[in-house]
A and B are shown apart, each in its own frame.
Chain A
Amino acid sequence: MRKNITEEYLETILYLTKGGRIAKTKDIADSMGIKPPSVSEMLAKLHERGYVEYQPYVGARLTEKGRSEAVQMERKHQLLETFLVDTLGVELNKAHEEACEMEHSISDSTVSKICAFLGHPKFCPDDHSITPGECCDKSEESIPLTELKEGESGTIKIVRVDHQTRDYLISLGFLPDVLLSIKKRLPSNSLLVRIKGSEIAIGGDIAEKIYVKKATA
């Protein structure tokens, strides 16, 4: 099984399952231009390798493993597309096609370099948001909030939680470049944070998704 066919499938399923739907065999076949029986056969293989959950006649959705692979591919694609369009001035449709080819051969480290070159963009030319990669976090020298010690402070860089929690956090003042300090931390990484003159308790699972830049005392 060729690597880039697997990757194409995962990307297509990721695209089709946005919004929590299940990807139907027929839809996958249509959007990839392949006959449904071949798709079913391929899905069964992907299922065996742990990339998708596949039920014949119902469809497929990505497993955790498949999803992270697909998200990485999508990120590569979007960064390449951004690079081609914004930096080189390639026409959008052409950029999309070529990015589709290049994404399978380009290495992770080169993608990180492109990402850095573009200044860690958050949106690609067709306005979809680009999933931040490791390099984006490092570029800000940001660390998860949970890595700050009691008494230390930092400024918020990225808050990477679900939509609802993020809105709630924003209304409490958790915005980029806002200063906060750790007042208490419990063994399981639950934190008590001082921000905007009030104290907010945050569970460890959320705290580790808030990235901050440590302030030098």
Chain B
Amino acid sequence: MKPVKVALIGNPTVGKSSLFSRLTGIGVIISNYPGTTVEVAHGRIAHDGVDIDLSDLPGVYSLDTDSSEERTVLDFLHEEKPDVILNVIDSTRLERNLYLTLEVLELGLPVVVALNMVEEAHALGMDIDAEELSRLLGVPVIPTYIHRGSGLEELTHALFHPRMLKPRLTRYDRHVEAFIRQLMGLQLGMTRYEAIRLLSNAPESSKYPEGVRTAAGMMRKQVEQSHNEPLGEILAGNRYAEAGLIAKAVVRQRKPSPEASLRERIDDILMNPVSGFIILALVLLGMLLIVFLVGGFLEDIIAREFAIYILNPATDAFTAHPLAQIVVKYTLIGIQAGLSIVVPYIMTFYLLMAVLENSGYLTRAAFLLDEIMHRFKLHGRAMIPLILGFGCSVPAIMSTKTLQTRRERVITSAMVCLVPCSARSVIIMGLVAKFVSIPAALSIYLLTLILTVIMGFVMGRIVKGEETGFVMEMVPLRVPRARDVIDKTWVQMKEFVYVAFPLLVAGSAALGVLQYAGVLDLVNALLAPVTTGILGLPAYTATALIFGILRKEMALETLAVLAGTSVEHLNMALTPLQMYVFGVFTTIYMPCIATITMLDRVVGLKDTLLITTLTIALALVISGLIANLAPLVMALI
């Protein structure tokens, strides 16, 4: 039997993805932050010997604007032609959710409604009569309690037997209705939905003959003039009126539970202009510290144990075959680099982010941060990646996907590349703070902070594209569920592992071979005018910097090896100024391979190259200036 195709549609953050993963097992991101499910997730469930193919579509508020999410949803509906639509609605925000439901019903496909978050609505003092709602909408309505798992069985059953009662269709204004009938009567086999789309001049209207389009255009003009309002607003107004009526008929208001008013009070403190910012600063600082400490701790262990138990024995085993040894060794170094980024930093970060996101705090943070960020013509949301950037640039850049416009993603990603991630902090701390001075190390942080701000300011003015204002739904505060947090962390780590890991390993092996073939010595010689001439560093630093592209702190380790000493004694090989210049250069110059891979996925190849080139140029100019001017300044003092 052919599998039944089911598409999940709903507003953002209504628990759609969570429901999806309960139905299908792990495999999708669960979020409480609007706009996380950018792509379509697929899963399959078996029920009484028949398969259901579930597709989780991005969260949308309506089906008729030209935002990228809504286009994804419409394209999917058009191309995949699902058999049933599972519309997930959040009981706590019933009226707004019903607006989309009414649009979904217009599509003319069988619909099953999952009434989610029933218990939360109950706590807020709202009891919803699901049976009455089902009667009014004309489709099955199944209340679901995701974390108790109840309602899932009924839901699966309903998906197989989507009784088509008589779906409720929005009654529009009588002029509009008359024109819809007229268009449907044109012998073109137009459905009601198609007639409404044509009347609203939707993009696909171009498939109709010229005459029909002109007629529809005239109808639209006539309605707009008699109402003195654009058609889109008239339709939306009618739908909202209908949604309001339905919501009113099925909701019974009681006094909210004490838990709800406690939540309200917490929310008040979180968003207060004074306490809100203090809490925000503490949360961000705490997050940074945790990632830095836990990540650093885990990284140490992983890198060391990997060297002792895998890397060294494997390398020793191949002593007889130098080339094979090199390949094995560097492949393993790549794996080691990957493991010591993924597990400690990325995992820790995602766990924390998942908690912030699913608790609903992230939307509050974005709201508060908008206060600061709009000066850079960026949104509050853009601050989140920048903070993540202190931990690791990879998840930071990944998180720019939640930004609305490409312009914002490009600007924010470029800024993220300048934020010293924990690997770069290892160099700043391990080299500059240790051997030069702590103020010198801090000056590098200050320098990058200034550069990041300038970068944001300049990019904000040169990068073209839509500038949308800040409009974001504030998600209700929720206690994050462990399972959702773990699912989400896993899914996001999986993305990193699949995308960046292979490249890291392959890149590492290739570097090893290059070194074996003597190419790196050649590169050292070729780059000497830059490394020695401009930066005043030993020629072998070129190799160290190339290794730093694999994993930034490898620059430091390689440097020590090449200098013929250990990291603890680097001060014997380099002068303080050289160490400072090296620190500055490694902090600014091109992002590591994993970051570049992620950049490519998020902003595309062209802008990735642009950002990479820009950072290299910036690193050369800044550290070149320091290397050449510092001696002069010293001499003057």
A interface residues with partner B (beta carbon < 8 Å): 121-123, 127, 161-162, 164-165, 167-173, 175-178, 184, 186-188, 190, 192, 196-206
Contact = CB atoms under 8 A, between A and B. Distances in A.
B197 interface: no
A32 to B, nearest CB: 29
Given A197-B93, A201-B472, A206-B469, A170 B370 contact: no
Interface residues of B, number: 45
A164 B240 contact: no
A59 B252 CA distance: 64
Nearest to B369: A190
Contact of B96 (A168, A173, A202): A173
B254 to A, nearest CB: 16
A196 B240 contact: yes
A168 B237 contact: no
Contact of B233 (A176, A187, A197): A176
B334 to A, nearest CB: 43
26 contacts: A123-B225, A167-B62, A167-B65, A168-B468, A169-B471, A170-B65, A171-B64, A171-B236, A172-B61, A178-B240, A186-B367, A188-B370, A188-B374, A192-B271, A196-B95, A196-B240, A196-B244, A197-B92, A198-B93, A199-B473, A200-B473, A201-B367, A201-B473, A202-B471, A203-B469, A205-B470
Contacts of B468: 162, 164-165, 168
Given A127-B225, A201-B363, A203-B370, A175 B240 contact: yes
A45 B273 CA distance: 50
A177 B60 CA distance: 23
Contacts of B60: 171
Contacts of A188: 370-371, 374
B466 A172 contact: no
B443 interface: no
A192 B379 CA distance: 15
Given A171-B99, A200-B473, 9 more contacts: A122-B228, A127-B221, A170-B236, A175-B236, A176-B229, A200-B472, A201-B367, A201-B471, A201-B474
Interface in B89-119: 92-96, 99
Nearest to B271: A184
Contact of A205 (B99, B221, B374, B473): B374
B398 to A, nearest CB: 23
Contacts of A121: 228
Interface in B198-236: 221, 224-225, 228-229, 232-233, 236
A197 B271 CA distance: 19
A201 B233 contact: no
Interface string B172-187: 0000000000000000
Contacts of B469: 161, 165, 202-203, 205-206
A164 B466 CA distance: 9
Contacts of B99: 171, 173, 196
B228 A197 contact: no
Nearest to A127: B221
Given A171-B65, A188-B371, A203 B93 contact: no
Nearest to B363: A201
Given A164-B67, A171-B61, A176 B470 contact: no
A64 B2 CA distance: 61
A168 B232 contact: no
A158 B370 CA distance: 24
Nearest to B225: A123
B368 interface: yes
B300 interface: no
Nearest to B241: A175
Contacts of B473: 172, 198-201
Please name the 9 residue pairs, one residue from A and one from B, whose CB atoms are nearest each other, closest first: A203-B470, A171-B62, A206-B469, A167-B65, A171-B61, A199-B474, A198-B93, A201-B367, A196-B96
Interface in B503-554: none
B471 A190 contact: no
A210 to B, nearest CB: 10
Interface in B340-373: 363, 366-368, 370-371
Contacts of B236: 170-171, 175
A96 to B, nearest CB: 18
Given A167-B65, A168-B65, A170-B233, A190 B96 contact: no
Given A122-B228, A172-B473, A203-B374, A197 B96 contact: yes
A167 B221 contact: no
A164 B65 contact: yes
B154 interface: no
A187 B271 CA distance: 12
B495 interface: no
A146 to B, nearest CB: 12
B175 to A, nearest CB: 15
Task: Output the residue of B66, B67, B473, B474 with the most chain A CB within 10 A.
Answer: B474
A168 B466 CA distance: 14
Nearest to A199: B474
Contact of B240 (A162, A173, A190, A203): A173
Given A173-B240, A196-B240, A167 B232 contact: yes
A200 B474 contact: yes
Contacts of B476: 199
A183 to B, nearest CB: 8
Task: Output the residue of A122, A200, A201, A206 with the most chain B CB within 10 A.
Answer: A201
A188 B370 CA distance: 9
B228 A123 contact: yes
Nearest to A175: B237
A203 B379 contact: yes
Nearest to A167: B65
Contact of A190 (B64, B224, B247, B371): B371
A2 B411 CA distance: 46
A172 B273 contact: no
A196 B242 CA distance: 13
Interface in B236-262: 236-237, 240, 244, 247
Task: Output the residue of A121, A176, A196 with the most chain B CB within 10 A.
Answer: A196
Nearest to A120: B228
Contacts of A197: 92-96, 247
Contacts of A164: 65-67, 466, 468
Nearest to B126: A197
Contacts of B224: 123
Task: Output the residue of B66, B67, B370, B476 with the most chain A CB within 10 A.
Answer: B370
A206 B271 contact: no
A200 B471 contact: yes
A206 B470 contact: yes
Nearest to B469: A206
B65 A186 contact: no
A206 B379 CA distance: 12
Contacts of B225: 123, 127
Contact of A201 (B237, B240, B370): B370
A161 B471 CA distance: 12
A172 B471 CA distance: 10
Contacts of A175: 233, 236-237, 240
Contacts of A170: 62, 65, 232-233, 236
A33 to B, nearest CB: 30
Contacts of B474: 192, 198-201
Interface string B436-474: 000000000000000000000000000000101111111
Nearest to B61: A171
Contacts of B233: 170, 175-176
Nearest to B364: A201
B371 to A, nearest CB: 5
